[in-house]
Amino acid sequence: MNRFDPTVEATAESEDNYRNSLLDFIFRSPSPYHASRCLADFLESAGFTRLVEEEQWSLEPGGRYYVTRNDTSLIAFRCGQNPADSAGIRAIGAHLDSPCLKLAPNPILQRHGYHQLNVEVYGSPLLRTWFDRDLSIAGRIFFDNGKRSVRKCLIHKADPVAVIPSVAIHLEREANTRQEINSQTHLNPVISGDMDSLEQLLFTGDDITDSGYNGQTLLGHDLSLYDVNPPECFGTGKKLISSARIDNLLSCHAGAIAIAEAQTDNFCMLVCSDHEEVGSVSDSGAGGPFLASVLRRSVGLDPSVIRRSLLISADGAHGIHPNYPHKHDDRHAPIIGNGLVIKVNANQNYASSGESVAFIRKQCENLNLPHQIFISRNDIRCGSTIGPIVASEIGIRTVDVGVAQFAMHSIRELASIGDAIDFKRLLTAVLESEKVDLSEWVDT
């Protein structure tokens, strides 16, 4: 696979490169900690300098910077030469967490002669898709390093260590018509019977030898399970991506390439937040103070800047499912592979307005990019994302846009590589656009 590489130009001619770069990014990002690290590595190779929140910042005009919080949420920005108080900010917001099963603080169980893992459900995964998969462990650990010190490192076990077995059809005859999953009692994976501690489970095998962890006592961890089955593309021209975490690593990937490549002298920003899947309310989530504090330290939060600015809230959209077409409104039913999806919701679960939708449609038309509009049916509760949260926190005009997919929140989702490339093109164009001040953009 191609590495996630800033020199890869995501043009139509290099569809293979873009596909391989996206697949590689997802493959190397089994947890939000890994996604953040991959993005940081990529941004550094594209000339971005790491900032540390606890230190003073001295920012140069034209400089490229990024900062992380809690080893997950990442904000990258380019200062540009043009003053933000006249030119505004162009921002992309996405999230790097995905629904999953997290290991409980005390994760080893022994029941009925088996060793199992105790898990907590993170966000809203489609639980039935987690059964009968080869699962492994990834995330962050803190361990006792002797000499009164604690070390941390990321763990990415490559080999499978656990499976949540289904109950056989012979023991549950209604399984195909009515399957109830109790999240406390039915989701414990089975592990090998000679694993008596999490330390042993993590250290056994030769797949984490470069992590710095040698089986020392764990003092804390943020570990989750993931499916070891790597992302794949299939179909004529390999145009469909089948993978975990398409929601929302696809948008993080497109946003990172866009901010690295954009030819602009304006202030632009990429926000990749953690905890979106659980409501974004945390010290590092989009509903917390991280973004506001980075804005305050870079361009300020004055309405004279913020109201001239635009946020593209980048997240997945629901493609109409041929087996469940009644789940969509007839006239707002995006088709996978038929273009980007602009998401609208009267109740502000998406932050798009007629004004910001008009701006994005005009951008798509200028770029000759196909686009579709999604609304939820009135009788199906709409999902949401970070757009409305950021818009209500800092008052920035926002539009929700994304790539259509099937099976959102499944352990394996499906999307189109063509849509992903179009998304990167749109995001780049918005960062490069001369004017995002919508109060001046519209002729009155």
Q: Give the residues lining the site for Zn ion (CB under 5 A).
A: 247-248, 315
Q: Which is nearer to Zn ion, 227 or 277 (CB)?
A: 277
Q: C-alpha 154: how far from its chain's center?
A: 18
Q: How far is the CB of 100 from Zn ion (least distance, A)?
A: 13
Contacts of residue 47, Cβ cutoff 8 Å, sequence gap at least 6: 64, 260
Q: How far is the CB of 364 from Zn ion (least distance, A)?
A: 21
Q: How far is the CB of 250 from Zn ion (least distance, A)?
A: 10
Q: What is the dihedral of CA 6, 7, 8, 9, to 10 degrees?
A: 100
Q: Which is nearer to Zn ion, 248 or 298 (CB)?
A: 248
d(CA 141, CA 220): 6
Q: How far is the CB of 118 from Zn ion (least distance, A)?
A: 27
Q: Please give the structure tokens belonging to residue 156.
A: 């990415």
Q: How far is the CB of 241 from Zn ion (least distance, A)?
A: 16
Q: Which is nearer to Zn ion, 396 or 408 (CB)?
A: 408
d(CA 12, CA 422): 9
End-to-end CA separation in angstroms for the chain: 51
Q: Are strands 64-69 and 73-78 parallel, antiparallel or unpaired?
A: antiparallel
Residue holding tokens 């696809």? Answer: 250
Q: Which is nearer to Zn ion, 141 or 344 (CB)?
A: 344
Helix, strand or coil, per DSSP, at residue 363 = helix
Q: How far is the CB of 92 from Zn ion (least distance, A)?
A: 14
* 29 burial via Cβ count (<10 Å: 0-12, 13-18, 19+): buried
Helix, strand or coil, per DSSP, at residue 30 = coil
Q: Which is nearer to Zn ion, 198 or 252 (CB)?
A: 252
Q: Which is nearer to Zn ion, 116 or 273 (CB)?
A: 273
Q: How far is the CB of 98 from Zn ion (least distance, A)?
A: 8
Q: How far is the CB of 280 from Zn ion (least distance, A)?
A: 11
* 73 burial via Cβ count (<10 Å: 0-12, 13-18, 19+): buried
Q: Which is nearer to Zn ion, 71 or 315 (CB)?
A: 315
Q: Which is nearer to Zn ion, 224 or 248 (CB)?
A: 248
d(CA 356, CA 1): 37
* Sheet with 317-318: strands ordered across: 232-234, 240-243, 413-416, 404-406, 317-318
